[in-house]
Chains A and B, each alone.
Chain A
Amino acid sequence: MRRREFLKAGMVGGTAVAVGGPFVLRQADAQNPIKIGLPTVLSGGNAQYGTQAKRACQLFGKEVNARGGILGRPVEFIYEDTGADPATAVRKAQKLVEKDGVKILTGTVLSSEALAVSAKCPEWKVILMSTINGAGALTAKSYNRYFFRVNTSGPMGARAVSLYLAEAPMKRFFGLGSDYAWGRDSVASFSAQIVAAKKEVVGRDYPPVGTKDFASYIGKIRQSRAEGCYLVLPGQDATIFLKQAHQFGLTREVKPIMEIVELENIKAVGEAMVGTIGSSRYPFTVDTPKNRDFVKRFHAMHGVYPDMFDGETYEGLEWLAQVMQKAGTADDVEKIIAAWEDSSYEGLEGPFFMRKCDHQAVQPGFAVEVVKDPAYPHPVPKILATYPGDRVTPKCRTEEFV
């Protein structure tokens, strides 16, 4: 008896779903959301980057949906944790593409993850928009037309710093980069440009990602008698290195020069980071009306000042929305690619232009120094020099500069 009742209930329920289903589907279709997938890092030593990408998405999503969305459709973000492992990144990206049906992927954190996911995009016919990944190879050797890089690349950061250092009195440099695509690419790029500026690279080394003890590297840097040390370390690695270098007194002898000067590091290391120079892909202190307003809105929502990838990811999303409006579609990937190529966009820190030949966004480059500023609760990056996009962007599909 009970079993029969159960079956009856099941049949009634099934019929209800079968009848009601199409109606519900039709309703959803009218406001079918544009889904953007983020196979990003939410756990471990690089989680700060996933957090930044997420913060930018939250702000952008709230604002754009309040304005009625893109092409009248709301925007929705789906986050997946890759744990900073390229193989997992591909698996998660595949899930986002095949199960959730996203046409746009973004938020990949490590360049090695981006290289792995980007290689699959032609097969999946989806766009990977980088707002974080630095490795030069992504828009050079490993370029494919489904990959777009909105952010400043590693070689571009190295270029901005080198242009600044060419004028500085320092002569001898040491390159320390994480042992993966971004670290190796950037140290190579920095070395080439520093040598071209008639200066010397006296040593190079590549600690593995996730190194906790830098004592041996600090010893090597000291022995090399370098005047400046070029650092290409991600997330927690940079924080740990800077703290240890400070404890060992290395920073008094050797000037730390960072490829990316991040707020997250500044907050973690504190006053000891004052005086550090480097490049920034997006210094939140850049003084444009658009950026001043963005910083205010961002701070109101999250209670902190935007870090590099908060800004870069927000710019990527805003540009993408502009491109989708122009293409008149959020689903036809080929049309979106065509609309994005050779298009311009007014970013937070200045004008952007998406080159058709390698999908690298041309944009201004910055050399910054960490300074104390009473207006902020922590030291901030002060802009020392701004270089126009054509001076800091490499030749097409290469990592070389004119």
Chain B
Amino acid sequence: MNGPRALALAALAALAALPWVLARHQLSILTDLLIFGLFALSLDLIMGYTGMVSFGHAAYFGLGAYGSALVLVHSGQPVPVALLAGALLAGVVALPVGWFSTRATGIYFAMLTLAFAQLLYTVAYKWRDLTGGSDGLAGVPKTTLFWGGPSLATPHAYYFLVTACVVLALLLCRALVRSPFGRALQAIRENERRFVALGRAARPFKLVVFVIAAALAGLAGALFAPFRGFASPEVMFWVLSGQGLMMVLTGGIGTLIGPILGAMVFILIQEVLSSYTEHWMIFSGAVFVLMVIFLPGGLVGTARRLVTRA
């Protein structure tokens, strides 16, 4: 067995064993970390592999959260139905947004995604009858795994659901970036003009990957709403989009596993610091600056460099 595969198996075994080792609160944090890991993973798909830097990725996380919250609050369907609804809602909305945004590249693409995200945020904020406005939707239940199936209300059950979703999403993304489609994305990232000169249109590829990334972010949001029992406009605010970028850069852009780790480090720092001081943002900002300066390529990129050098 080669190194990376052994490492992956070890990580899987650890994820399966951890619930029996960790205290309840630690398991909650781990679930939280995995959900945001999935969010960062989806952002890496467009940012790291296609070179599209989105400043509005939180919008799809938020759409997923609202989609799943609405299904669970109003109909009490099993959680997977809500997850599907959330991911679908995010993907469907991403289609027109992506269609417009992919007309531009670079900073203009980033600005367009930001504008659309803030627009969606405002809709969530103002549409009180549906979204509860700034109060959000509270009391989102963790229902069952399927109709008449086991309840997901225990911390263990929900943790395994989240873990399964994250692992599947990671495998899907891995398969995607290694497929011909994924190679095309990376070609676009390296040199879009050349890609076009070779006789392929870049936009359809960019649109498709944008929608896939949005749907995965939606899945993360859809997992988040029942976990926290809550969805509010804050989960689609630009602050979360920015934090997503920080998670990807911290972990290692274009590595898939890196952003998941990056999200974990980012949230852990926040979790620990914010219990000690109200000024935790100064410290997490400083940590980020130091990481970008001293660990270019993020955690995973740096680790890989060290391994190959040794």
Contacts and interface: CB of A to CB of B under 8 A. Distances in A.
Contact of A86 (B125, B230, B274): B230
A181 B229 contact: no
Contact of B230 (A42, A98, A111, A119): A119
A86 B136 contact: yes
Contacts of A115: 135-136, 138
Contacts of B229: 90, 116, 119-120, 123
Contacts of B32: 91
Interface string A152-186: 00000000000000000000000000011100000
A208 interface: yes
Contact of B135 (A43, A86, A99): A86
B224 to A, nearest CB: 9
A95 B278 CA distance: 16
Q: How large is the interface on B (under 10, 10 to 19, 20 to 34, 35 or more residues)?
A: 20 to 34
Residue among B228, B234, B271 having the largest count of chain A Cβ atoms under 10 Å: B228
Nearest to A118: B138
B153 interface: yes
Interface string B101-130: 000000000000000000000000100000
Interface in B229-257: 229-230, 232, 234-235
Residue among B24, B278, B279 having the largest count of chain A Cβ atoms under 10 Å: B278
B95 to A, nearest CB: 27
Interface in B252-310: 271, 274-275, 278-279
Contacts of B274: 80-81
A98 B138 contact: no
B133 interface: yes
A180 B135 contact: yes
Binding site secondary structure of chain A: helix
B25 interface: yes
B232 A116 contact: yes
B89 to A, nearest CB: 19
A148 B28 CA distance: 26
Nearest to A185: B135
Interface string B18-34: 00000111001000100
A87 interface: yes
Interface in A100-135: 111-112, 115-116, 118-120, 123
16 contacts: A86-B230, A86-B232, A87-B232, A87-B234, A91-B32, A95-B25, A95-B28, A99-B23, A112-B134, A112-B136, A115-B138, A116-B138, A116-B229, A116-B232, A119-B230, A120-B139
